[in-house]
Amino acid sequence: GAVVSQHPSRVICKSGTSVKIECRSLDFQATTMFWYRQFPKQSLMLMATSNEGSKATYEQGVEKDKFLINHASLTLSTLTVTSAHPEDSSFYICSAGQGASDGYTFGSGTRLTVV
């Protein structure tokens, strides 16, 4: 089955620093990947849609300059949280799909803690 690898699984960083999260589709090509944010015991909130070779599409209220998304190849999308602050602490998770009739495969998520 489809596998999506996400790294790192956990990261602790200081306020003001930047953190890069990688999302890779291991056995399929993904022209589109999605980035979500999940707070404890809450649902997944779509942050942006990452499109290979073009600019990402951000959801309303998500700061483009703070959450930089790059989708340089068909198997890799990255999310960089710039100038992180404690309120950015959350669970970030990516997903990708193989086709219209299939569900999406999620990465294992990244738990970011900003201190």
Partner 1 sequence: GQQVMQIPQYQHVQEGEDFTTYCNSSTTLSNIQWYKQRPGGHPVFLIQLVKSGEVKKQKRLTFQFGEAKKNSSLHITATQTTDVGTYFCAGRKISNFGNEKLTFGTGTRLTIIP
| Contacting positions for partner 1 (CB under 8 A) | 32, 34, 36, 41-46, 49, 57, 60, 93, 95, 101-109
Q: How far apart are CA 100 and CA 33, in angstroms?
A: 14
Query: Minimum distance from CB of 37 to partner 1 (Å)?
Result: 11
Choose between 75 and 110: whose C-beta lies nearer to partner 1. 110
Give yes or no for a contact between 90 and 19, defined as CB atoms under 8 angstroms apart.
no
Answer yes or no: are the C-beta atoms of 115 and 16 closer than 8 Å.
no
Least spacing, CB of residue 42 vs partner 1, in Å: 8
